[in-house]
Copies of this chain bind each other. A is one copy, B any other.
Amino acid sequence: MEIDPFIFRLSIFVLAIFVGYYVVWSVTPALHTPLMSVTNAISSVIIVGALLAVAVDLLAAGEGGWIAKIFGVIAVALASVNIFGGFLVTQRMLAMYKKKEKK
């Protein structure tokens, strides 16, 4: 009984929606701004797609290959802005949240 991998991906998607729902509701309101910046950062996993495009084999891909490579490089650069910018700005913000110092 071979099952189409799509069904599995769908299962993963459905369960991830449940996880997302709960995990985000459990974020404390005080950290909603860092939440916005960190989700922005992680949404740049789209870089995975960009890397696949850059790595295209020019011999096998034919004329479209160069186009894909160039688009890929641009996408890599755009996603990198987000990855570095997103995680670093979040880190900077989170570093500011401090407890009262015990004296």
Residues of chain A whose beta carbon lies under 8 Å from any beta carbon of chain B: 3, 5, 8-9, 11-12, 15-16, 18-19, 22-23, 26
Contact B16 A26 (CB under 8 A): no
Count the copies. 2
Among B5, B22, B23, B26, point to the contact of A8 (Cβ < 8 A).
B5
Report Cα–Cα, A102/B1, bound state, in Å. 56
Report Cα–Cα, A92/B22, bound state, in Å. 29
Residues in B with CB closer than 8 Å to A23 are: 18, 22
Among B3, B5, B12, B26, point to the contact of A15 (Cβ < 8 A).
B12
Min distance, Cβ A23 to any Cβ of chain B, angstroms: 7
Residues in B with CB closer than 8 Å to A15 are: 12, 15-16, 18-19
